[in-house]
């Protein structure tokens, strides 16, 4: 029969695993993906993003994912970007708390709503 310390150790291991494996993977925009037809604002409005979560962008080759500053996000400045991703299948891990901002490389699409703000919390 297992002794109490062994049972406690087991509980701690299981608990630790549950805590460290809590990162979520979000397919941005759901089934319609990173697209100008997707209502990204309402997609993100009910999400709670935490450090360690992953944003998975799926998009056509004519689009791109650009991480930008808040300022660029607000005015859809697609010329001043932090990071550009292309290829249609991009994962971005949210490595730190704060605001993460993404816009499409096509300014008109961005103005049409193809942009995403994720307010990331430290669990
Ligand atoms: C897209 O990226 C994911 C995660 O990096 C990978 O598992 C998957 O195989 C990729 N899909 C395609 C079609 O490249």
CA of 33 to the centre of ligand 1 (A): 14
Ligand 1 pocket member 91 (CB < 6 A)? yes
What is the reported pLDDT for 123?
78
User: Which residue has a Cα nearest atom 3 of ligand 1?
Assistant: 89
What is the reported pLDDT for 110?
98
CA of 5 to the centre of ligand 1 (A): 43
What is the reported pLDDT for 11?
60
Q: Which atom of ligand 1 lies at the shortest distance from residue 89's CA?
A: 1
What is the reported pLDDT for 2?
65
Model confidence over 89-123: pLDDT tens digits? 999 999 999 999 999 999 999 999 999 999 999 97
11: Cα separation from own chain's centroid = 31
Q: Which residues of the chain have pLDDT under 70?
A: 1-2, 4, 7-21
Beta bridge partners of 120: 49, 98
- Map out the domains of the chain with their CATH numbers: 4-121 (2.60.40.420)
Q: Mapping DSSP to helix (H, G, I), strand (E, B) and coil, where does residue 119 land? A: strand
What is the reported pLDDT for 108?
98
What is the reported pLDDT for 104?
98
First to last CA, the chain: 37
DSSP 18-50: HHHT---EEETTGGG-SSTTS-HHHHHHT--EE
């Amino acid at each position: 029969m297992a002794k109490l310390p062994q049972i406690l150790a087991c509980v701690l291991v299981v608990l630790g695993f549950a805590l460290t494996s809590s990162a979520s993977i979000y397919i941005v925009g759901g089934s319609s993906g990173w697209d100008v037809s997707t209502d990204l604002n309402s997609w993100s409005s009910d999400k709670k993003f935490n450090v360690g979560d992953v944003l998975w962008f799926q998009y056509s080759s004519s689009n791109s994912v650009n991480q930008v500053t808040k300022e660029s996000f607000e005015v859809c400045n697609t010329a001043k970007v932090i990071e550009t991703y292309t290829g249609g299948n991009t994962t971005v891990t949210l490595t730190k708390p704060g605001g993460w901002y993404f816009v499409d490389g096509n300014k008109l699409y961005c103005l049409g709503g193809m942009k995403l703000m994720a307010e990331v919390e430290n669990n």
